[in-house]
Amino acid sequence: MNDRNIIALSRRGFLGTALGGIAALATQPSWAASKTLNVLSHKVHQTVLGADGGDLLADWKASNDADVSWTTFDSNPLQDRLFREASLGSTDYSVGYMIDNRPTSEIAALFEPLDDYLASDPIEDFQDIAPGLVDGMTVDGKLIGIPVRHATQGLFYNEELLQEAGIDAPPTTLEELVEQARKLTFTSSAGTPVVGMVLASDLAVFPVMFARAFGGDFITGDFQLMPDKDAMVKGLTVLREMFEAGALPRSYATTRNDDQVTWLQQGRAAFTVLPFARHAQLNNPEQSKYPGKIKAVEFPISAELKGKMPMSSIVEAWAMVIPKNAADKDLAWSFIKDVSSKRATLGMALNGNGPVRVSTYAEPDLVAKNPLAEVEAAVLANARGAFPPFPEAARAQGIMLEEVQLAVLGRKPVAEAVDAIVERVTPLMPA
């Protein structure tokens, strides 16, 4: 290559670089924020606030002369990183997102109690946030997190299969659910063998829901272990009888959460229990054989309790927390207030978030987008976590599921399995 070519190439390279730099400058903001709020979260929390652009935070950023820097991880690595940051001498992260089944007393002590902030600089209509979600982030009498996202369980059903079996409406009591599930254990007109209900065997959600249908529980919010054993016996007896009747899959012991989605989409099961947020996936015409035909209602309570007490479905939630060692707690609270507002809650809901405010479900824009808005709002109002967090919670859940499986599969009398749960979990309970 001669000198003339080298000069021409250099000139073109310089002009391209210069023009590119001018274009880049033209697209950048004309000002730089004087403050940066560092946030530790799952990617979904950033996305629902405006697909990386922070659209829902635009006014907050301008009024606070601040920008937001997001560091995101998947759920479990996120919780590990958050707790590690909060245990240091100081952290650059002033806001973190925590799952409500994590804050034991020891973990909660690493985060700022928010009651004083709430009293002196209140969140808009705080009572509108579902009480079960607030309770889930209240540890040792102190509020440590403001709920921001939830997944609440509902009873999904295939309307077309119900109609084929001559059933006009979904069940309103647990007894009706069992009866319909047995009737729907058949071969459909499409030639597909159908089971009445499909449930995963490795999640505490389902045995706890059946116990709550009879007024019982596994572990209450104040750490009472199975305060009504008879209710748990009734719930597990129903599951066992459904299995014996073929209304639960023969593969129950190895059925997992994703199987529930697939079986309902394919018409292999008539009922299942999943978060309401799964509605769109279950009815996705690219995946489902029954688009528009898979609907949901509240999981039904037993006939003896119907009208006497509400059914408490299970909910899992995320909340925003402030580490005690955070750099800028006041800016963090300002951010939490804005994200918790009715405006932002609706905006995030329209972007796919599970809104924590009951009133959001009545917003016309959301109702138009979410056909389950009304029923989900009613369920959320009484929903609460499967059990409160404590250091040995994972082991306690594992023991419970082990004994439940033995009972459902008929390898152990139900009453004996319930007694074994109490005996084996009692030493693991907090003092």
Q: Two tokens at 244?
A: 């014996």
Determine contact, residues 356/129, Cβ cutoff 8 Å. yes
Determine contact, residues 261/278, Cβ cutoff 8 Å. yes
Please state the pTM of the whole predicted model: 0.86
The whole-chain average pLDDT of the chain stands at: 92
Largest CA distance in the chain: 95
Q: Which CATH superfamily is domain 35-151+314-380 in?
A: Periplasmic binding protein-like II (3.40.190.10)
Of 22-36, 103-117, 141-155, 210-224, the least confident:
22-36
Return the amino acid letter for 337. Answer: K
3-class SS of residue 400: helix
Give the pLDDT band (50/70/90) at residue 54. low
Average pLDDT over residues 85-93: 97
SS (H, E, C) 52-114: CCCHHHHHHHHHHCEEEEEEECCHHHHHHHHHHHHCCCCECEEEEEEECCCCCHHHHCCECCC
Q: Two tokens at 7?
A: 């000069």
Determine contact, residues 279/372, Cβ cutoff 8 Å. yes
In sequence order, what DSSP letters do the residues of 32-43 get, joined into one string? --SEEEEEEE-H
Cα separation, 26 vs 405, in Å, equals 63
Cα separation, 311 vs 305, in Å, equals 9
| Common-topology check for domains 35-151+314-380 and 153-313+387-428 | yes
Give the pLDDT band (50/70/90) at residue 57. very high
Average pLDDT over residues 399-404: 97
Return the amino acid letter for 223. Answer: F
Per-residue confidence (pLDDT) for residue 25, from 0 to 100: 37
User: pLDDT of 159-197, one tens digit each?
Assistant: 999 999 999 999 999 999 999 999 999 999 999 999 999
Determine contact, residues 429/225, Cβ cutoff 8 Å. yes
Cβ neighbours of residue 353 under 8 Å, at least 6 residues apart?
A: 44, 48, 148, 149, 345
- Domain locations in the chain as residue ranges: 35-151+314-380, 153-313+387-428
In 25-65, the DSSP E strands lie at 35-41
Does the pLDDT value for residue 91 go beyond 60? yes
Give the pLDDT band (50/70/90) at residue 151. very high
Cβ neighbours of residue 93 under 8 Å, at least 6 residues apart?
A: 38, 39, 40, 71, 82, 85, 323, 326
Cα separation, 27 vs 331, in Å, equals 27
Q: Two tokens at 8?
A: 């021409």
Cα separation, 247 vs 185, in Å, equals 6
Give the pLDDT band (50/70/90) at residue 17. very low
The CATH code of domain 153-313+387-428 reads 3.40.190.10
SS (H, E, C) 231-296: HHHHHHHHHHHHHHCCCCCCCHHHCCHHHHHHHHHHCCEEEEEEEHHHHHHHCCCCCCCCCCCEEE
Give the pLDDT band (50/70/90) at residue 431. confident
Residue 156: is it exposed, middle or buried by C-beta count within 10 angstroms (0-12/13-18/19+)?
Answer: buried
Give the pLDDT band (50/70/90) at residue 33. confident
Average pLDDT over residues 44-69: 88
> What's the sign of the alpha-carbon dihedral 345, 346, 349, 354?
positive
Give the pLDDT band (50/70/90) at residue 50. confident
